[in-house]
Structure 1
Amino acid sequence: MIILLFFLAHWFLSLFSQTFFLHRYASHKMFKMNGFWEKFFYAITFLSQGSSFLNPRAYAILHRMHHAFSDTEKDPHSPHFVKDVWGMMIQTKNIYLNYSKYNHEPEEQFRDNYPAWPLIDKIGDSWITRLVFISFYIWFYVTFATAWWMFLLLPIHFLMGPLHGAIVNWCGHKYGYSNHDNDDHSKNSLPLDFLMLGELFQNNHHKKPNSPNFASKWFEFDPTYPLMKVMHWMRIIKLRKSN
C-alpha cells in the first residue's frame, strides 16, 4: 500500500508540475504569478520530477516548436515520422539537450518569455543530483516493497518527466477523437482525463493553445483547470483572458 501511494504521489505531483508550470506557464504564459510563486513552483517541479527534471527553458522552446510545426518533419516530437515511441523519445531528447546545454539557439519566435533559475537548472541537470534521486527511489522500494513485482515500477520513477511527455505526444497525436480540424493529427484521447491531468486533450489544445481549460465539450473534464481557478481566486496566479 505504501509503495502504491508513493508511486501515485510521484506520478501526479510530477505530472502537475509538467502541465501547470512547464506547459501552461513556461510555454504558453496562460497566467501570471509573482516572483515568489514562480520560484516556489520552479522548486516543486525540480523536487517532483527528481531524476528526470526538465529544464523549463528547453521545455518551452520545444513545445512552442511543436505548436508551430505540429505533425510535420520539423515537429520535435511528432509520432508520425519515427518507428516507435522509443524513437520519438530519443529524437526529443537529442533536440532538448541541444537547447538545455545551449548548443543551439532557437529561432527568434521561440525565444524569451520563459522562467529561468540558473542555479536550479544546474543542480537539476547534474548527474550527481539525478543519481541521488535514483538512490532515494531505490532505498524507498527496498525499505517498503512487499512483493518483487513492485520493483518493476522503479524505471518509471527514474524517467517520469520524459515518460509523461512521451505518453501525451504519442497517444495525443495518434489515438482518440477530434472536435476540431487543426490541419494536424492531434486527438483527444480521454474525455475525462484523470490519467494525464488534461494533457490528453491535444486536439482541443491545438485549436486554442492559450486557453487554460483544455476541455471544450460538456462531457470533457480537465482536472488541472479547476485547480488553476482556485489558485486564481486565492491570488496565487492571475489567469489571462483567452478567446
Structure 2
Amino acid sequence: MVIVIFVLVLWYGGLFFQSFFLHRYAAHQVFTMSKTMERLTFILTWVFQGSSYLSAYGYGIMHRMHHAYTDTEQDPHSPKYDANLFAMMWKTKTIYQDINQERVEVDPRFTKNVPQWKAFDNFASSRFSRILWISLYTLFFAFFVTAWWQWLLLPVTFLMAPIHGVIINWFGHIYGYVNFKMKNTSKNLFRFDFLMMGEGYHNNHHKFASSPNFGVKWYEIDMTYLIMRVLNAFGLIRLKSLPVKK
C-alpha cells in the first residue's frame, strides 16, 4: 500500500507541476508570479518530477511549436507523422534536448518571456541528478515493497514526465470526443479528467490555448485550474482574465 501511495503522489505531484508550471505558465503564461515564487516552483518541479525532470525553457518553447504546427511535419510530436508512440517519444526527446541545450536556432516568437534558470536546469537535468533520483526511488521500493508486482511500478517512477506527455500527445490526438471541430486531431480524453488533472481536455485547450481553465462543459472539471484559483486567492499567483468561450 505504501508503494501505491508513493507512486500516486509522484504521479499527481509531477503532473500538477508539469501542467501548472511548464504548460500553463512557461508555455502559455496564463498567470504571473513573483521571481521568488517562480524559483520555488522550479525547485518543486524538480522534487516531484525527479529523474524525469523537464526544463521550463525547453518544454515551453516546444509546446508553443506544437500549437503553431499542430499535425504538420514541423510538429514536435504528432501521431500523424510518427510511426508509433515510441518513435514519437524519441523524436520529442531529441527536439526538446536540442532546444533546451540551445543547439538549434529557435524562432524568437517561441522564446518570448519563457522562464529560464540555466544554472538550476543544468543541475536538475544532469546525469548525476537523474541517477540520484533513480537510486532513491529504488531504495524506497527495496524498503517498502510487499508484493512482487509492486516492482513493476518502479520504471513508472523513472519515466513519469514522458509517460504524462505521451498520454496527451499521442492518445489525446487519437482517442476521445470533440467539443470543437478544428483543423487538427486534438481530442478530449475524458468527460471527467480524473487521470490527467485537466490536461486530458486537449481539444478544449487547442481551441482556447490562452485560457487557464481547460474545462468547457459543466462536467469537465479541471483540477489544476481549481488549485490555481486557490493560489490566486492567496496572492501566490495572479490569473489573467479569461477569454470568452463560445
TM-score normalised to the size of structure 1? 0.98
Shift in Å, 1:242:
2.8
Q: Counterpart of 2:157?
A: 157
Work out whether 1:223 is the aligned partner of 2:223. Answer: yes
2-structure distance, mates of 1:94, 1:122: 17
Q: Which consecutive segments of 4 or more residues in structure 1 shift more than 4 A?
A: none
2-structure distance, mates of 1:132, 1:230: 33
- Give the match's secondary structure for 2:217: coil
2-structure distance, mates of 1:74, 1:156: 29
Q: Counterpart of 1:51?
A: 51
Q: Counterpart of 1:214?
A: 214
Q: Counterpart of 2:29?
A: 29
Work out whether 1:140 is the aligned partner of 2:128. Answer: no
Root mean square deviation of aligned Cα: 0.8
Q: Counterpart of 1:195?
A: 195
Work out whether 1:60 is the aligned partner of 2:60. Answer: yes
Q: Counterpart of 1:119?
A: 119
2-structure distance, mates of 1:114, 1:47: 21
Shift in Å, 1:36:
1.2
2-structure distance, mates of 1:86, 1:67: 21
| Alignment check: 8 A CA contact 1:175 1:187 kept | yes
- Give the match's secondary structure for 1:172: helix
- Give the match's secondary structure for 1:194: coil
1-structure distance, mates of 2:133, 2:36: 25
| Alignment check: 8 A CA contact 1:46 1:120 kept | no
Partner letter of residue 145 of structure 1?
V
Aligned residues: 243
Q: Deviations over 1:47-99 (max 9, x none)?
A: 11111110110101110000001111111011111121111100101111111
| Alignment check: 8 A CA contact 1:171 1:200 kept | no
Shift in Å, 1:200:
0.8
Q: Counterpart of 2:167?
A: 167
Shift in Å, 1:35:
1.1
Partner letter of residue 112 of structure 2?
D
Shift in Å, 1:108:
1.7
Partner letter of residue 142 of structure 2?
V
Partner letter of residue 213 of structure 1?
N
1-structure distance, mates of 2:22, 2:28: 9
TM-score normalised to the size of structure 2? 0.97
Q: Which runs of 5+ in 2 are unaligned?
A: none
1-structure distance, mates of 2:32, 2:117: 17
Shift in Å, 1:125:
1.4
Q: Which runs of 5+ in 1 are unaligned?
A: none
Partner letter of residue 211 of structure 2?
S
1-structure distance, mates of 2:20, 2:6: 21
Shift in Å, 1:102:
1.0
Q: Counterpart of 1:88?
A: 88
- Give the match's secondary structure for 1:79: coil
Shift in Å, 1:111:
1.3
